[in-house]
Amino acid sequence: MIESLKQHYNIEQKDIRLFKIVIQKEKFLKTLSFISSNSNFITLSQITCTDWIEDKLFTLNYILTNKERNKNLMIELQIPREQSKISTLLNFFPQAKVMERDLHEMYGIEFIGNPTLYDFALENWKEIPPLRREFDTLAYVNEQFEFRRGREDNRDVKVEMKKRRAEAKRLKNAKK
């Protein structure tokens, strides 16, 4: 199956069971319809996204699995970071509905044609999508919540552990 696909695309093998194709965003629908109808890779396992903030890109990865469940094929493409839009895969794989809803909530990617792009795991969320790298989790948490004051006899962990290890070493050397 892989050999027959190698005539059309440039496939590289990442691992024993993992193969990868890198395509352009414009050829996305044609590629996927060709692969899902002409080969054994008929199941969409996952859609993942990586945030490259320095190059101003999102990298989307569509992972397909074959019918015998022993090979995976990754299809990678890049979309711009601002105003990121791409068409939906709902017509080929019905499970893409939930995966795209998740990605829309966490990264802000808009999937054209998906009617269920409302909130999934976050309720009453008023900030930017939280898995983007410009969202500073630490600043948000420190502003929103208040932590407990420590105890009065509080000690710093690193300093204390260093002291205790030095003490134990000294005792061991004194015994010899």
Question: Minimum Å distance from CB 42 to another protein?
Answer: 34
Q: Which of 37, 124 has the CB closer to another protein?
A: 124
Q: If binding is defined by CB under 8 A, does position 108 make contact with another protein?
A: no
Contacts 24+ apart (CB under 8 A), 63-66: 64/35, 64/36, 65/41, 66/1, 66/39, 66/40, 66/41, 66/42
Question: Minimum Å distance from CB 47 to another protein?
Answer: 21
Q: Which of 3, 156 has the CB closer to another protein?
A: 156
Q: If binding is defined by CB under 8 A, does position 146 make contact with another protein?
A: yes
Residues 116-145 as x/- pattern, contact with another protein by CB under 8 A: -----xxxx-----x----x-xx-xx---x
Q: Which of 123, 152 has the CB closer to another protein?
A: 123
Q: If binding is defined by CB under 8 A, does position 152 make contact with another protein?
A: no
Question: Minimum Å distance from CB 48 to another protein?
Answer: 20
Q: If binding is defined by CB under 8 A, does position 171 make contact with another protein?
A: no
Q: How many residues bind to another protein according to rule CB under 8 A? A: 15
Q: What residues line the site for another protein (CB under 8 A)?
A: 121-124, 130, 135, 137-138, 140-141, 145-149
